Amino acid sequence: APTVARTPIATHTPAPKPAEPPAPLAGLVSRLSGQVMVDGVRRTDVFDYTLGPGTVLATADGRIDVQFGDGSAFALGAGSTLELRRFDAEQVELVVTGTVDVEVAPRAPGQRFVVRAGDRLVEVRGTQFRVIHDDNGTYVACRHGRVAVRDSRGELEVATARKLDLAGEASLDPQRVVPLSAAELEALASATPVTMPMWTDAASLVKTSSALEVATAGNRAVRVDGVELGEGPMRVRVMPGRHTVEAADAAGRFRRAGWIDVAAAKPARLAVQADAAPTGGMATRRRQLHAGIDRGRLANCTRVLAKSGLTSFVQIEMSIDETGAVGFLNVIDTDLPSTTAGCVREVLADVHFQPGPSATFRDKLDL
């Protein structure tokens, strides 16, 4: 039988699938003060959305803190700009002109965190450090951990409690790495970026957290729930619940400015007035307050507690001007539930004051 030639069947090897791009990261503003621009716009709603790759931040006299993971955040200082040039699960690359303070949780294998300062790179694994870069050169200070500083000519390591100050195009000389002073270490500690301890993911936290504005009269150091946050006025991200706010007086001593109940995704504000010098009108205005309280309404606020045989208190601070107008009224401390405390505050806010001496005073009401 004749032999029939068979044409070989062509086989097709499928092309390898392209690698999946790394998942983008999302950052949340955790603290903001002064004038800050996001992508060239001065926005008032920066606490309501996430920041992603390509975002550019710029500050005038302000500061902005951004958290992007559990224990990972950066803070951009005054007069600075920063670009999130790359911001994903494999690599974070921040391009800075000015001052940035960074705290980074330990990176997983293959992850990189880089700050680009001109022609120099600062790379870390897990640490807290500061980079200042301007026309005069580059300054790197490491509070804890280790960072590597690189340029086209080599690499230099800066370890815990050490700094590197490079003027202009100076070479990476190991002798330039010197210890930080106690004052410099304290300054780094006070500049630690604000982070939320209950980090889950940015998209969820936008809906479950809120911006608390602490509106101080003038620049005053602020503490929220015992944590010092720097100078106000400022806004800081908090979780729902009752939060205690303290402000430093002229002598630097922290005094309770009030407490405030914050709901999820609803901005809150607490005004902190300037310290007022004692005046002779304090006793007069305090007597007018007690005489003007609507005792019936007050009893109605605390009716449920009274039936249970419980006693409570409210400590307030308020300001009255010469016309009798109330400048502010803050509840500084109380053991009442939020709704009851709000009811009591409304009763006190409705007290009518006659024209007379201006006064700012504190008082405690036992209920």
Q: Which tens digits make up the pLDDT trace of 266-284?
A: 999 998 877 666 667 888 9
Average the pLDDT over 167-191 and give the result: 93
Give the CATH number of domain 281-366.
Answer: 3.30.2420
Beta strand ranges found along 56-136 (DSSP E): 56-59, 63-69, 72-76, 81-87, 91-104, 112-117, 120-124, 127-134
Question: In Å, what is the CA distance from 249 to each residue of 59, 216, 277?
Answer: 27, 11, 12
- Of residues 283 and 140, more confidence is placed in 140
State the Rg of the chain over Cα: 28
SS3 94: strand
* Domain boundaries of the chain, sorted by first residue: 28-190, 209-272, 281-366
Give the CATH number of domain 28-190.
Answer: 2.60.120.1440
Average the pLDDT over 109-137 and give the result: 92
Q: pLDDT tens-digit profile of 192-237?
A: 999 988 898 899 999 999 999 999 988 899 999 999 999 999 999 9
DSSP label at 303?
H
* Half-sphere exposure for 134 (CA within 13 Å, toward CB): 9
Is residue 98 within 8 A of residue 106, CB to CB? The reply is: no
pLDDT for 35: 92
pLDDT for 68: 95
SS3 208: helix
- Of residues 325 and 2, more confidence is placed in 325
Is residue 240 within 8 A of residue 226, CB to CB? The reply is: no
Which of 69, 74, 236 is CA-nearest to residue 57?
Answer: 74
Q: Give the mean pLDDT of the chain.
A: 90
- Of residues 14 and 187, more confidence is placed in 187
Can the peptide bond before residue 109 be classed as cis, meaning omega within 30 degrees of 0?
no
Which of 347, 360, 367 is CA-nearest to residue 292?
Answer: 347
Average the pLDDT over 46-62 and give the result: 95
